[in-house]
Amino acid sequence: MTIFEKKIHVKDILSEYLVFRDSVSDLFHQINKANKNQVVLDFSQVKSISRSFAQEYLQQRKQQSITMTEINMGSQVKKMFHSVKTAHKRSTMLSFDDTKEISIHDLLCHKDNQSAK
């Protein structure tokens, strides 16, 4: 570790169970307080992470101007981050440009016409 780098043990700052979105703000407050160019976040002993925590963490991480590295993530933590990242990619790939608007009236009339046949 260099003088420009700070290692933060996530469990010591927050908990072994990362649940609340608000906790992410506490973590990033500590990161910014370190006043370093590089921060290493050690996730050892973190047992679980909620989807909302992971989403908020990734959102705030994007806004940081420092280099951040995560280490010692357990399998559950890795899976949740992966799940959140891939869910975001899937949702951004949807395109509604090719859809057309239809009124409920038109939909009901179409249904009535189909049943009359």
pLDDT confidence of residue 50: 96
Report the pLDDT value the prediction gives residue 88, as an integer from 0 to 100: 62
Class for the domain spanning 5-116: alpha beta
More confident position, 95 or 110? 110
pLDDT (tens digit, 9 = 90+) per residue, 14-23? Answer: 999 999 999 9
**Residue range 99-111: mean pLDDT, rounded:** 67
| pLDDT at residue 86 in the model | 87
CA 115 to chain centre: 46
pLDDT, tens digit, for every residue of 60-97?
999 999 999 999 999 999 999 999 998 866 555 555 55
What integer is the mean pLDDT of 39-56? 96
**Distances from the Cα of 54 to the Cα of 57, 110, 114, 117, angstroms:** 5, 44, 47, 52
